[in-house]
Amino acid sequence: MRLLLLVPLLIQLVVCGEDTTAQNLPKDSLISILDNWPGRSNARSEILKLQVDPIPRLISVASSSADPTLRKLHAISLLATFKDSRTNQGLTNLVTTSIPQLRCAVLEALTEEDPSYAATVLVNELNDDNVCRIEEASDSGVNRPIYVSETASRLLTLIKGSPCGRGQAETRKEAACWRKWLEQRGVPNN
């Protein structure tokens, strides 16, 4: 499969003598890796073999209105592996996406990419009561919604520790505890 993707590029290089640098690679190579998803580590390695600088194209896919959600989630996941100010900015711009599932992925990617910067973004998401996923409990058989605010709270707790003390369950109560903690310190929380 990978050889089939490279054959047209090799023919272009030999026959036409054209530049086949990262910016001139067919978008299909990146899309194919994102869609076939060999796992984050393998996908990153494959993309780096094809491109010198994949960040702009990954941001483009993640923010595209035409690309499917799963492809966007893969692009967001890969962006977290590139410690770069462009990644930071691209992910920050995606926090306002209308798809809660993507917002949660962006919050997680930002936290992985730059935890100290992510904390300020996470604070602003503590009031987002949209459901980003459903957690399936195998023991009770009851499905529980996971809210964007819970994800933000969980990630804040991971970075800063819990304002509620040890043993507080990671539920919407934790997000409320963070909001109260911020309010007591005069920190705006929109």
User: Could you give the C-alpha distances from 58 to 103, 125, 141, 153, in angstroms and in order?
Assistant: 16, 23, 37, 27
Q: Give the pLDDT band (50/70/90) at residue 68.
A: very high
pLDDT in tens, 137-181: 777 778 889 999 999 988 988 888 777 765 444 556 677 777 777
Could you tell me the pTM of the whole model?
0.74
pLDDT the model gives residue 23? 45
More confident residue, 171 or 67: 67
User: Which one has a higher pLDDT value, 52 or 100?
Assistant: 100
Higher pLDDT pick, 92 / 120: 92
Q: What is the pLDDT of residues 122-142, one digit of tens each?
A: 988 988 999 999 988 777 778
Mean pLDDT over the full length of the chain: 80
Q: What is the pLDDT of residue 107?
A: 96
**pLDDT of 28 above 70:** yes
- Say which residues have a Cβ less than 8 Å from residue 1's Cβ, sequence separation at least 6: 32, 36
3-class state of residue 132 by DSSP: strand
Under the banding of pLDDT at 50, 70 and 90, the label for residue 188 is low
* Residue of 53, 63, 124, 113 lying closest to 93 (CA atoms): 63
Alpha-carbon distances, residue 19 vs 10, 23, 26 (angstroms): 11, 9, 12
Q: Nearest to residue 153, comparing CAs of 187, 119, 116?
A: 119
Within 8 A by CB and 6+ apart from 49, the residues are none
pLDDT of residue 26: 52
- The type of residue at 37 is W
Q: Which residues of 65-92 are buried (b: 16+ CB within 10 A; e: fewer)?
A: eebeeebbbbbbbbbbbbeeeebbebbb
pLDDT of 187 reads 65
Contact status, residue 163 vs residue 181, Cβ threshold 8 Å: yes
Contact (Cβ atoms closer than 8 angstroms) between residue 93 and residue 86: no
What's the angle, vertex CA 162, arms to CA 156 and CA 164, rounded to 5? 130
Provide the percentage of residues in the chain whose pLDDT is more than 90: 46
Q: What is the domain partition of the chain in residue ranges?
A: 27-94, 114-190
